[in-house]
């Protein structure tokens, strides 16, 4: 439980049953009259930004948020499964919680899992991943400069823009934040 | 504005040191402190030229403000409770009743829990009283004061009803809490309170969030004749021809900042006592600390406070505006330190 005078950016709280992080908190008070705290929050499930004005002295529930490095194990028909390598405890998450991380995760990959009340709400892949090309137009010999480009499908299903010389079976390094090709892995 | 600081002047000599090594340094730049000193001189010159007497009154008082939304800091002197004054008003009205004539004071005041970009728990207030003037007469003088100190243009003036109509689209004297709530929601304001919002709370919220940001962008903007709930220590004027009764109170805004608050002062001792008692009742309902009634101030009103108008102006905010500073910290030699 936090009171308005404890509101700070970075504080994790529960608003309308959803976990949120406070990104801005500003004390507002007319010279004579009720004081307020104007708050900007980001919903940790949807990433949507919300604005609320609290009467001073109001309280809000803390959110039990833990971020843990985990290993991605496998996917069954419905759920993605992760394991905490320290406790060996396993967690499952539906596709909507995994989100875009699904494009970059192959089995045994390390990732950052955000838990709310011990339930997975977000998965963040490593900044860089190495994945194999499973489909691409044939490579053009001699085009080592990498001018021009084409699309290639990776083993996780992600489709990325790559230079013309890239061939099926090659391993590529990719930036998961932008989805951009970084280079070939020897 | 003539006094705006050069950006380079805001940098001290220690710019390359890290935060920990600089923790002893002032919050304001020396240039901001020089600007502050110039503004203080100009303020004193302004009042000297008008024969307004500078006074000093105690910071430690046996009584304090009863306003339910203002919390006083309390301490003990020789075993008896004293309150750090939240405004010099109670003492200054006793001077007026004693026949002081026009008076002003520049003093530190203290308010518990007020910390933010525009708030410091101790701050400098300029307060002055003019016997014989009503709130319109005093608005004229505040207008001249701002022109003299900041070099700004002549003010704009609107009633509370006019600004509410323009930016909120509601009648602040007659709209109920639920109508104000739906206007607030239509404007994208989402308020959170387990105890609910009263009509008065909505008025404060809408003023702060929907109206203030528009006020005084180019020149000072006065708002006057407030709804009755916001009367504080202002006189009530009966409405004529179906018009609502209003409190003869004004506020002035500049660059979206509330700068000063003034009243055509209540001079009726028995009505003053009733308002204090109503405040104490609200304090009990809201679970605020109990404060004693200022019997000496009520006695002074009963003895006879001359008809007058008074205004309190946040001096640090005035310096903020002159310096074009982003927060009150930038104009305080040392700001309030969290532990």
Residue B137: predicted pLDDT: 98
**Span B115-132, average pLDDT:** 96
Residue B18 pLDDT level (bands cut at 50, 70, 90): low
> What is the full DSSP assignment across B145-168?
HHHHHH-PPPPEEEEHHHHHHHHT
CB contacts, 8 Å: A35 with chain B: 69, 113-114
| CB-count exposure of residue B331 (10 Å: 0-12, 13-18, 19+) | buried
Alpha carbons A186 and A175: distance in angstroms, whole number: 17
> What is the full DSSP assignment across A62-73?
B--EEEEEEEEE
Beta pairing partners, A24: A40
CB contacts, 8 Å: B201 with chain A: 34, 55
Question: Taking the mean position of all CA atoms in its chain, how far away is CA B216?
Answer: 16
**Span B84-98, average pLDDT:** 97
Residue A149 pLDDT level (bands cut at 50, 70, 90): confident
Task: State chain B's mean pLDDT as an integer.
Answer: 93
CATH class entry, domain A128-185 = mainly beta
Q: Determine the residue of chain A that is closest to B233 in CA distance.
A: A32
Sequence-distant (6+) residues with CB within 8 A of B167 are B210, B211, B214
Give the distance from residue B304's alpha carbon to the nearest chain A alpha carbon, in angstroms.
26
Residue B23 pLDDT level (bands cut at 50, 70, 90): confident
A49-55 and B191-192 strand pairing: parallel
- The answer to whether the Cβ–Cβ distance between A58 and B67 falls below 8 Å is no
CB contacts, 8 Å: B192 with chain A: 52-55, 58, 60
- The answer to whether the Cβ–Cβ distance between B116 and A51 falls below 8 Å is no
| Angle, CA B133 vertex, CA B131 and CA B134 arms, to 5° | 125
> What is the full DSSP assignment across A97-149?
HHGGGGGT--TT-EEEEEEETTEEEEEE--SEEEEEEEEEPPP-TT-TT--S-
Of B153, B15, B147, B316, nearest to B7 (Cα)?
Answer: B15
Sequence-distant (6+) residues with CB within 8 A of A106 are A72, A129, A131, A155, A156
Alpha carbons A55 and A58: distance in angstroms, whole number: 6
CATH 2.30.30.30 residue ranges of chain A are 2-60
> What is the full DSSP assignment across B299-337?
HHHHHHPPSEEEEEEEHHHHHHHHHT-SSGGGGSSSPPP
The reported pTM is 0.81
SS3 category, B24: coil
B122-131 and B103-110 strand pairing: antiparallel
Question: Taking the mean position of all CA atoms in its chain, how far away is CA B174?
Answer: 25
- For the stretch B74-88, pLDDT in tens is 999 999 999 999 999
Q: Determine the residue of chain A that is closest to B185 in CA distance.
A: A52
Sequence-distant (6+) residues with CB within 8 A of A40 are A22, A23, A24, A25, A49, A50, A51
CATH class entry, domain A2-60 = mainly beta
Q: B164-167: which pairs have CB atoms within 8 A and are 24 or more residues apart?
A: B164/B206, B164/B211, B167/B210, B167/B211, B167/B214
Query: Which tokens go with B189?
Result: 């304001």
Half-sphere exposure of B188 (CA within 13 A, CB side): 6
What is the share, in percent, of chain B residues with pLDDT greater than 70?
A: 94
Residue B153: predicted pLDDT: 96
- For the stretch A27-75, pLDDT in tens is 999 878 889 999 999 999 888 999 999 998 899 999 999 999 999 999 9
CB contacts, 8 Å: A53 with chain B: 189-192, 205, 209
Residue B11: predicted pLDDT: 46
- The answer to whether the Cβ–Cβ distance between A36 and B190 falls below 8 Å is no
Q: What are phi and psi of B270, to 5 degrees?
A: -75, -35
Give the distance from residue B239's alpha carbon to the nearest chain A alpha carbon, in angstroms.
23
Alpha carbons B123 and B107: distance in angstroms, whole number: 8
Nearest to A55 among B193, B208, B314 (CB): B193
> What is the full DSSP assignment across B170-214?
S-TTT--HHHHHHHHHHTT--EE-SS---HHHHHHHHIIIIIGGG
Whether CATH 2.60.40.10 fits A65-124: no
Nearest to B258 among A27, A31, A53 (CB): A31
- For the stretch B240-257, pLDDT in tens is 999 999 999 999 999 989
Residue B101: predicted pLDDT: 98
Q: What are phi and psi of B205, to 5 degrees?
A: -65, -45
Residue A144 pLDDT level (bands cut at 50, 70, 90): low
Alpha carbons B229 and B246: distance in angstroms, whole number: 9
Alpha carbons B215 and B159: distance in angstroms, whole number: 13
Alpha carbons A63 and A5: distance in angstroms, whole number: 17
SS3 category, A180: strand
Is A112 a residue whose pLDDT tops 80?
yes
Give the CATH number of domain B7-155+255-331; options: 1.10.760.10, 3.20.20.60, 3.30.930.10, 3.40.50.300: 3.30.930.10
- Which secondary-structure segment (H or E) carries B104? strand B103-110
Sequence-distant (6+) residues with CB within 8 A of B30 are B12
CB A41 within 8 A of CB A23: yes
CB contacts, 8 Å: B261 with chain A: 31-32
- The answer to whether the Cβ–Cβ distance between A53 and B205 falls below 8 Å is yes
Q: Write the CA distances from B326 to B20, B103, B197, B198, B329, integer angstroms.
A: 22, 32, 30, 32, 9
Task: State chain A's mean pLDDT as an integer.
Answer: 90
Beta pairing partners, A74: A81
CATH 2.40.50.140 residue ranges of chain A are 65-124, 128-185
Beta strand extents in B4-98 (DSSP E only): 53-54, 60-61, 73-77, 80-84
């Amino acid at each position: 439980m936090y009171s308005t005078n404890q509101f700070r950016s970075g504080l994790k709280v529960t608003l309308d049953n959803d976990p949120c992080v406070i990104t801005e908190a500003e004390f507002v008070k007319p010279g004579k009259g009720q004081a307020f705290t104007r708050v900007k929050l980001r919903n940790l499930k949807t990433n949507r930004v919300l604005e609320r004005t609290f009467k001073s002295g109001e309280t809000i529930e803390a959110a039990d948020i833990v971020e843990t490095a985990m290993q991605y194990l496998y996917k069954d028909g419905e759920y993605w499964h992760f394991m905490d390598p320290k406790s060996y405890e396993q967690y499952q998450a539906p596709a909507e919680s995994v989100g875009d991380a699904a494009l970059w995760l192959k089995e045994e990959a390390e990732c950052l899992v955000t838990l709310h009340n011990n339930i997975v709400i977000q998965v963040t892949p490593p900044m860089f991943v190495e994945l194999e090309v499973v489909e691409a137009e044939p490579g053009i010999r001699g085009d080592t400069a990498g001018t021009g480009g084409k699309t290639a499908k990776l083993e996780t299903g992600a489709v990325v823009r790559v230079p013309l010389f890239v061939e099926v079976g090659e391993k590529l390094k990719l930036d998961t934040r932008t989805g951009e090709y970084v280079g070939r892995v020897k | 504005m003539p006094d705006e600081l050069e950006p380079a002047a805001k940098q001290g000599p220690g710019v390359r040191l890290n935060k920990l090594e600089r923790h002893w340094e002032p919050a304001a730049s020396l240039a901001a402190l020089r600007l502050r000193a110039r503004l203080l001189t100009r303020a004193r010159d302004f009042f000297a030229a008008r024969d307004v007497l500078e006074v000093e009154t105690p910071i430690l008082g046996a009584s304090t403000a009863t306003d339910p939304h203002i919390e006083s800091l309390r301490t003990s002197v020789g075993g008896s409770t004293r309150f750090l004054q939240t405004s010099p008003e109670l003492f200054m009205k006793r001077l007026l009743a004693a026949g002081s004539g026009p008076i002003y004071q520049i003093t530190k005041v203290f308010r518990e829990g007020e910390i933010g970009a525009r708030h410091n728990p101790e701050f400098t207030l300029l307060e002055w009283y003019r016997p014989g003037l009503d709130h319109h007469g005093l608005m004229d003088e505040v207008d001249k004061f701002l022109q003299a100190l900041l070099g700004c243009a002549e003010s704009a003036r609107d009633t509370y009803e006019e600004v509410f109509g323009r930016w909120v689209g509601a009648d602040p004297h007659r709209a109920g809490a639920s109508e104000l709530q739906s206007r607030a929601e239509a404007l994208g304001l989402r308020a959170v309170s387990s105890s609910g919002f009263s009509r008065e709370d909505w008025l404060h919220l809408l003023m702060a969030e929907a109206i203030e940001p528009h006020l005084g962008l180019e020149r000072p903007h006065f708002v006057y004749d407030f709804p009755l709930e916001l009367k504080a220590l202002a006189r009530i004027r009966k409405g004529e021809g179906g018009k609502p009764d209003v409190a003869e109170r004004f506020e002035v805004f500049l660059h979206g900042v509330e700068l000063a608050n003034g009243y055509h002062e209540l001079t009726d001792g028995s009505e003053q006592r009733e308002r204090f008692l109503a405040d104490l009742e609200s304090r009990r309902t809201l679970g605020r600390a109990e404060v004693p009634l200022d019997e000496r101030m009520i006695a002074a009103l009963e003895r006879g406070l001359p008809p007058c108008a008074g205004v309190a102006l946040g001096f640090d905010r005035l310096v903020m505006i002159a310096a074009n500073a982003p927060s009150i910290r930038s104009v305080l030699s040392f700001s309030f330190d969290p532990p």
